Amino acid sequence: MKRTFLSKRNALFASTGISWNVGVLFFALIVLFVRLLMPNLFWIAFTPLFKSANALSAQSHFFLQHFSDAAALASKNEQLMSENASLASENQALSQKISSISAIKDVSTGILAGVVARPPESPYDTIVIAAGSDNGVSVGMEVFGSGGVPVGVVSTITDNFSRATLFSSPNMNTLGWVGRNSMTLSIVGAGAGSMNATVSRSADIVVGDIVFVPGPGMLPIGTVTRVDSDSSSPSVALRIQPILNPFSLSWVLVRDTGMTFSSATSSPL
Amino acid sequence: MIRGLLSVFVFFSIIFFPWPFTAVLVLISAFFIPSLSLAAGLFADTLYYTPHADFLPLFTLYGALVTIVVLFVRSRLKTGSMRG
């Protein structure tokens, strides 16, 4: 069965909506006629409404402006937080640099240089520093780490960079002292950051004794970590570990101590 | 009831709310009361039309256009057939 649902009935004249359709039109026309025929009455009647509308508009504008300001503030806050994080990072880097430099500068004056490459980036037991002949560095100058600990000797230089051979380099032979009696010994680099030395058994060297090298006075460079002895030999072999880890060097001080080292590695950079 | 509320709110909106909001409201309510868009246009022009500044009472014309479109759409929707 097919039946028509509201066939051809104009919605404007539908029984359920006719009153509202006619009503709203009637209201609009009444208002229009009032304005045309009695404009003073019209404006007297609508002035309070317009004033209320203006007040509401101002309030809503203020309300929306508040959200706009909040968005701008949030954006500004995000920008400032980003800048703050960047500055904090920079501040931390500078603080680290200052602490490293101050630890070096406490010893004496010299040429401050950053370490460009260290083991294992550089050939082992050498470091590359960012100071060369233009900065006053020359071959044979001694390199000091944090706390004024000597770590090596400048072996080759260029205009802007230098390479220092650490005391632990296999070709390095350094005169020094060890023990409470300051027994003289010849320190030989053993590679891999360690050093060896041979002293008389009668020197009574034990594990933990400090090894010194000449500088302004006696400068500690390492500690005895092992004493190898052979009953048939009148001497003992010392295994020495450097005080400063060459892997952690970041800033060094280069200066001429006037000391003569028996040999220093010399190879092109 | 909803027609009464929509009508009052549309006329209220013409005075108190920005015109884009009112336009959207009129378009929505026109599907319940087709002549409301025409009445709203008339009311808006009654309030805001200035003969020397504007060439035509555009709100009334737009309202009439919306009323015609809504009536056409409603006539198409309501003249469908049901099978039972």
pLDDT digit string (tens) for chain B, length 84 residues: 778 888 889 998 888 888 888 899 999 998 888 899 999 999 988 888 877 666 788 889 999 999 999 988 888 887 665 554
**CA torsion, ordered A225, A231, A236, A240, to nearest 10 deg:** -20
**DSSP H helices in chain A:** 18-37, 39-105
Statement: residue A251 has pLDDT above 60: yes
Give the residue-averaged pLDDT of A36-60.
Answer: 81
Q: How far is B65 from chain A (nearest CA, A)?
A: 14
Residue A10 tokens read as: 């104009």
Alpha-carbon gap, residue A1 to B82, rounded angstroms: 9
Q: Which one of B7, B43, B70 has the shortest CB-CB distance to A31?
A: B43
Whether residue B2 contacts residue B32, with contact meaning beta carbons closer than 8 Å, is answered with yes
CA distance A197 to A227: 10
Q: Which member of B43, B74, B80 has the closest CB to residue A28?
A: B43
| Per-residue pLDDT tens over the stretch A164-198 | 888 888 778 888 888 777 788 888 888 777 888 88
Please give the pLDDT value at position A128. Answer: 82
- What is the rounded distance in angstroms from the CA atom of residue B49 to the CA atom of residue B60? 10
Please say whether the beta carbons of A213 and A182 come within 8 A: no
pLDDT over 80 (residue A246): no
pLDDT at A4 over 60: no
Looking at residues A215-231, what average pLDDT do you find? 81
- All residues of chain A having their beta carbon less than 8 Å from the beta carbon of residue B64 are none
Shortest CA gap A82–chain B (Å): 38
CB < 8 Å to B77, chain A:
none
Longest dimension (CA), chain B: 59
- Tell if the CB–CB gap between A8 and B4 is shorter than 8 Å: no
Summarize the confidence of residues A73-98 as an average pLDDT: 80
User: Residue B50, Cα to own-chain centre: how many angstroms?
Assistant: 20
The answer to whether the CB atoms of A12 and B35 lie below 8 A apart is: yes
Which residue in B7, B15, B71 is closest to A10 by CB distance? B71
